[in-house]
Amino acid sequence: MTLAVTRDSPLRGLLGGKTATVLAEQLGLHSVDDLLGHYPRRYAERGKLTDLASVRIGDEVTIVARVRSVTQRRMRNKRGTLTDVVVGDGRRSLSLVFFNQPWRAKQLAVGVTGLFAGKIGVRGNQLQLAHPECKIFGATNPALDPDSEPGEPVDEVESALTYASQLIPVYPASRGIQSWTIAECVRLVLDAVGDVEDPLPEVMRERRGLIGLTEAWRQIHQPESLAEAEPARLRLKWDEAVTVQVALARRRVAQAVNPATPRPIRAGGLLDAFDARLPFVLTAGQRVVGAEISHDLGGHKPMNRLLQGEVGSGKTVVALRAMLQVLDAGAQAAFLAPTEVLAAQHLRTLRSLLGPLGISGEFGAQEHATRITLLTGSLSVKARRAALAEAAGGGAGIVVGTHALLEEVVQFADLGLVVIDEQHRFGVEQRDVLRAKSAAPPHVLVLTATPIPRTVAMTVYGDLETTILTELPAGRAEVNTSVVPVRDKPGWLDRAWTRIVEEARTGGRTFIVCPRIGDDGATGSGAIGTGAAGNGAVGRLDDGDESPQPPAEDDAPPGDEDAGSPRRAPLAVLDLADTLRGGPLASLRLAVLHGRLPGDDKDVIMQAFARGDLDALVTTTVIEVGVDVPEASVMAIMDADRFGVSQLHQLRGRIGRGPRPGICLLVTEAPADSPARLRLDAVAATRDGFELARVDLASRREGNILGAAQSGRQSGLRLLSLLDDELIITQAREEATYLVALDPDLVGHPALAAQVARLSEDNRADYLDKA
């Protein structure tokens, strides 16, 4: 009795042990579903050569090219022969190098066209593939195609659909298994699998004009034309979108099962007293958002709301008013911050805003006053014990802290609201830990100053209701941003230092941000304006407080950096501070700030800077969010190309928070036309965070945004684009919400339930755990 082949069937029984092992070890493909979900990256055409201008050094490629010349010679320093085959596309050439394979000269005769696969290297000024795998078009004789397996019927492979048509699927491959082998494996599996139960309900497919799953698999892997592949891509994008949105919809339903304790607004309490003493008028946006949150807090359904706000839009005031409403209802609030510097800043901000309303039990406290307590990992034993007692006994109405709040020993008398600043620093497990510290689920308000495109909000934060706060409070100054190209115009950096000194003389203060702390053994110095163009990721930071966002992976052409020269290490705080103290900023009061400093030292330095006892801080990204110094007017970001677009926008938000106009200087050695430089130009051109978020999304690999497995494979979204497929994502969310409302456990949709289960088990979908 032959067992039916299903989506979960292992490949070993279909392809043989050796091939299945290679697919598993090299590409992480174990089942039928894995292999059929390994879609072609593109399609090559027999009559159309690959544009060699598109290949980059280091790429694993499969190209279609024609042999232009073949030379063979004996090697000088060792026995054997070297065969050099030059292939081309009519404009650019590529060298194929083979050692001790003299028969290649006969196989790869001038005029032969074929597929060539390997890793692009360079020899002199010539791109090359060393020992590439080859598949020759039209080969029917194993002597002409020695790369075929022993005993393999080459003419049968050539007559297979994938190689008989004009279109040849080119798959993501590896050194151990080539694209054409994957294509043959897919053909064998498609022949065996037959029709499978479709996870998308028929009514949904008809409503959205989608083909069936089995048909989609065949048309994406074996299309007769590019046009035929499009309906397949559309259908498979819908699979990805619906699966994610159903998982998130079920999470939203699950969160509503356990009711929260309503925390309705109470007249004449702490919130009213706070509103009466506010020295400014709330913006229209703050009032609207505040009303939405207030309504949520008064209900039995646990609030799970994401509040997006431009840098400086007043999110902290909105969050504080929500916390005060909860305090008026007799409960407590926890304010979770990602770093100790930010936690201390929030503590000072909240105390400043509340004034005598935040010092309960102290001289001068007003009626209805509460207490605010700080709980971080660097507190002394005595201070920590006192903070734990205030939280557990209810003496502290608001507890501000870092990850220390998540420890089991931290307990609350009645936790009614959790405010989480910068959600991307915390996972769903950490949020659940805080939820567990309350008998009833607390309300949750997530704050982020990182603008999030709508499609990302629906996918990464899909279990949260999203609110956007765009209006800036009155009195905020303009911030002008300029790129300082030290490679092309070194004199501009001298002028930048002069401007910083001029600002200090008139009361302005400056942040100078570096990607690295220093003293970590990396090669490099405080020298500025030397070295290769910075187009890569930030180097490893030995700083528990900072989490720099890596920039996009650039499509830099070969030769974009100085050939053969090692790229210098990113500029470091400790090195640069020494250089500036003995050079252009010798006349200023300058200090360093980074996450390795003890918590008390960081706090002392920040307070000195805020008071005006310091003119400049040389710092890491520890000041990225939440730091509020109205007199800070200059932000110089060194090696700015080593930061992501959103992170640059965040850093820029630390200046211009008062009446003094701000100046943001993006210092870089990136060449004028490089992708890194274009990103910096985009940041300089606009302060619209949502526009920059789209630039960031367009320039980065989406797997880096959603999260990728340790194996390095892309996220579970293989075809769906968060930038281009907003309509699909929106419609899939509607369909998922409707379907889960009718059938929350997916009892009537077993195939869809299995697909959601696969996604939940797939570590490529760890972005779901950010939600």
Contact 617, 593 (CB under 8 A): yes
Q: What is the mean pLDDT of residues 47-67?
A: 77
Q: What's the CA gap between 717 and 722, in Å, rounded? A: 9
Q: What is the predicted pLDDT for the residue at 434?
A: 76
Residue 465 pLDDT level (bands cut at 50, 70, 90): confident
Q: What's the CA gap between 418 and 17, in Å, rounded? A: 52
- Range picked from 196-205, 245-254, 757-766 for highest mean pLDDT: 196-205
Q: What is the predicted pLDDT for the residue at 133?
A: 81
Q: What's the CA gap between 48 and 450, in Å, rounded? A: 44
Residue 206 has pLDDT above 90, yes or no: yes
Q: What is the predicted pLDDT for the residue at 520?
A: 60
Q: Which amino acid is at 44?
A: A
- Which of 20-34, 297-311, 451-465 has the lowest average pLDDT? 451-465
Residue 760 pLDDT level (bands cut at 50, 70, 90): confident
Q: What is the mean pLDDT of residues 260-285?
A: 92
Q: What's the CA gap between 730 and 455, in Å, rounded? A: 8
Q: Which two tokens stand for residue 682?
A: 């985009």
Length of the chain: 771
Sequence-distant (≥ 6) Cβ neighbours of residue 39 within 8 angstroms: 171, 220, 221, 236, 718, 719
Phi and psi at residue 308, in whole multiples of 5°?
A: -95, 135
- For residue 531, list its beta bridge partners: none
- Using only C-alpha atoms, what is the Rg of the chain? 30
Percent of the chain clearing pLDDT 70 (strictly above): 81
Residue 120 pLDDT level (bands cut at 50, 70, 90): confident
pTM of the model: 0.69
Q: Which residue has the higher pLDDT, 462 or 330?
A: 330
Contact 9, 32 (CB under 8 A): yes
Q: What's the CA gap between 537 and 209, in Å, rounded? A: 42
Q: What is the predicted pLDDT for the residue at 296?
A: 95
Residue 719 has pLDDT above 60, yes or no: yes
- Which of 110-114, 307-311, 676-680 has the lowest average pLDDT? 307-311
Q: What is the mean pLDDT of residues 696-724?
A: 59
Q: What is the predicted pLDDT for the residue at 217?
A: 96
Q: What is the predicted pLDDT for the residue at 713?
A: 39
Residue 51 has pLDDT above 80, yes or no: no
> 3-state DSSP call for residue 729?
helix
Residue 702 has pLDDT above 90, yes or no: no
Residue 155 pLDDT level (bands cut at 50, 70, 90): very low
